[in-house]
Structure 1
């Protein structure tokens, strides 16, 4: 039996439960307003295994200079965030794999850097809304296999893939996505020799290891009961989503550069998949995608699995090869 199968079997024992009403969760979430909900059926929500904060989000992380980093291997993925008024920052996926959310402030902007391993979805949000600044944690719940976050101020539930509050007093509120991208540590380091990198959290997890060994080679995602993508696209291939459009990573890789819909997408080799080998640095090369507008400015986007794109953008436009 593969390590992935053992891991998923263990999770299935403790996870996957869905309920027709939120009554079961009210003891854990006494301050969440379940009377306000955008969820069509509560059976869409599944327990992911860990309880509320069982995956501990990071708040106010520490950073050090690129030149002082010794743990991260050259091909390991990091999420890069560059905001005017602050040095570039790299958030290593080796840490996000185990924490999923980092609450930080960069150049005066409160941000949440998020990564959902089951969807390969890495998005950075501005934590400010009209009613103030939020701080996010991991709920332990999933919808379409995607992480449901919660804010500590109102205990509302948020869908990570779309940055929108699903349940609670802030239902319908949408977070602003910021331009960030996933690239290899070597690529970040070469471009930002004077940049910063997040320091290792002191929580003793197996940083650098992938607990989802072989996940992105499966035929079916974990804890997902929705439709497969159209056009014969396998559920666990990567696509690059820009707003409601998606390009397959394979097409961008094969063509090198694509200019469509006022967007330029480019691909460069050298980044390991975080969800392939047991050691992240040993993962297959999925490369790095950059997404820019006609003026060369970086655009908010997501490199996610095809099933997740189809689940949250069922009417989205697939940008297939012509």
Structure 2
């Protein structure tokens, strides 16, 4: 395999998405992948970020660093979610620009779209309606990140691209008891219930909302694919005011179906009870991924296989679950 000599900084390399991007880059022959742990570089510290870029000749940036979490975490720490994400984005993008980095990929979230956006959600649904209240601060921060990249492209001629993934899961996910997303939360709950012999497991909400899920290795592959597209090819699918693109698999399931599938994979045979007094969130979140498919990429990992692999990773790392 030919080696690739560009120096690429992956911000957030210890997170689920960032670590998958690092694996993907290495698999494709990139030799100079630059990373920094939180102890080495606090992305909330503007001067530290500027110093990092001044000390390294960076060619490309993958901005995968973010504060993330499920409904409980978003509801409990709204100030942390909006502040931390705004600061990380602003610090990295500005420092990249100041130090001559021409190419950057910003990772957003499908929660940027209105709560009741037409399904499947197209990129041009952005800013056309009211956001889901349970994660509005996080969504606003991510929208600001998109507009930040667009603004540097318009004013400074940069090539800063944004990808909006659907709900992600996979190795390295956050399995915190309260602050995790739905897949790791259910996986942990069923795993513990099986070990303890519990007769039933209670899941949040009605079980009726529909969600789309993408394995993190597919997300990493899509991110590198988008970053490697020639500028003229990318420009054919975007515009200065529509510089983001959806990343998903194009299929969704109900939370009830998801819970049943995870319970089966874990081997939990008890009852699954849904608590309708807990919030459901957005009724449906399915992305329109036609633009990405037109650019030559589509998801490969089926949900059942991806969940099976994720559960195997969880069992192997059950003592190393990370907290938000």
Calculate the TM-score normalised by the size of structure 1. Answer: 0.25
Larger helix proportion of the pair: 2
